[in-house]
Amino acid sequence: MKHLLALKDLSAEEIYAVLNLADQLKYELKHGIAHEKLKGKTLAMIFTKSSTRTRVSFETGMYQLGGQALFLSASDIQIGRGEPIRDTARVLSRYVDGIMIRTFKQSDVEELAEYGTIPVINGLTDYAHPCQVLADLMTVRERKGSLKNLKLCFVGDGNNMANSLIAGAVKVGMKITVCCPKGYEPDAALVGWGKESGLLEITEDVLAGAKDADVVYTDVWASMGQEGEAEKRRKAFAGYQVNAAVMAAAKPDAMVLHCLPAHRGEEITEEVLEAHAEDIFDEAENRLHAQKAVLVMTMGR
């Protein structure tokens, strides 16, 4: 695996290889077995948006793998003053062994990969959040034993999470239904590709979409960068909440996932979130293990 820009670029075999290595690294960590597979290596982490999980899990992950991570807030490095991505890519390639970037435009992440000579990992863009979905798939597989033929229902905005969940689910053979209001559908190209597989369905009807789901997933109504639309979105998404009625439509043993941070009372009720806190915080933990696998598979070559 050269880079991780979007899950759609990976084969099913590569996704399973990440999940298997993630399981192994998690086991080793829990049993005190050292795995310094990136000894002496440095990861540069560029952030144009806020983060708790991504920053802390990547930084800790690099440390556990025997390397180090540099936190580079975009406002502190020259990117914030307009230095081109392509120059940043060429400079960082002379110093460090990999770059993780969280930013707005997917094309910036692609440009970084094109002009640099080192692996680039997408830590979230407006288009995709592949690291999150690898952790999500890992969590589902831990609970359910396998991924194939399960049904995941995503309720809410057709955003970066919906896009990456479509890509990840279709690749591993999981059914996915996205319940969203008109005008807030996921990326059109991904929807076309997903529908061709026969695994993706898009609906405005949340209860129909959640019927018999094994996994119910939601995310905020207004993503980072959309704060100005929050009020308008609150109205548009009023019927798109994961609550007791939605959970009653899903399978009795359905798990609930949320990439976090969560807005209780908006996309999910306090009651559902707390009833499924074990799923959701295992999911957050698995960011660490899944990303360590990605780091080893990209930077460990």
Contacting positions for ligand CP (CB under 6 A): 51-54, 124, 132, 259-260
Minimum Å distance from CB 106 to ligand NVA? 12
- CB 164 within 8 Å of CB 128: yes
Residues 6+ apart with CB under 8 A from 32: none
Q: Annotated catalytic, 102?
A: yes
Q: Considering CB distances under 5 to 8 angstroms, the limit depending on partner class, which of ligand CP, ligand NVA, none binds residue 106? A: none
Q: Report the partner that residue 164 touches, choosing among ligand CP, ligand NVA, none (CB closer than 5 to 8 A by kind).
A: none
Structure tokens at 82: 């307009």
Dist. CA 118–CA 97, nearest whole Å: 6
Concerning whether 90 is annotated as a catalytic residue, the answer is no
Q: How far is the CB of 51 from ligand NVA (least distance, A)?
A: 8
CB 105 within 8 A of CB 79: no
With respect to ligand NVA, which residue has the nearer C-beta, 4 or 259?
259
Nearer to ligand CP, 77 or 262 (CB): 262
Specify whether 126 is catalytic: no
| Dihedrals phi, psi of 264, to nearest 5 degrees | -60, 140
Q: Per residue in 189-221, is it b (16+ CB within 10 Å) or e — as a string?
A: ebbeebeeeebbbbeeebeebbeebbbbbbbbb
Q: Footprint of ligand NVA on this chain (CB under 6 A)?
A: 124, 159-161, 219-220, 223-224, 259
Query: What does the alpha-carbon distance between residue 27 and residue 67 come to, in Å, rounded to a whole number?
Result: 20
37 makes contact, choosing from ligand NVA, ligand CP, none, with CB < 5 to 8 Å by partner type, with none
Q: Pick what 160 binds: ligand CP, ligand NVA, none; C-beta below 5 to 8 Å, kind-dependent.
A: ligand NVA
Q: In terms of residues, how long is the chain?
A: 301
Minimum Å gap between C-beta 85 and ligand CP is 21
Cβ at position 118, least distance to ligand NVA in Å: 25
Residue 60 partner contact from ligand NVA, ligand CP, none using kind-dependent CB cut-offs of 5 to 8 Å: none
- Out of 132, 153, 179, 187, the active site residue is 132
Judged by CB, which is closer to ligand NVA: 16, or 71? 71
Q: Is 78 a catalytic residue?
A: no
Partner residues linked to 216 by β-bridges: 153, 256
Catalytic residues: 102, 129, 132, 219, 259, 287
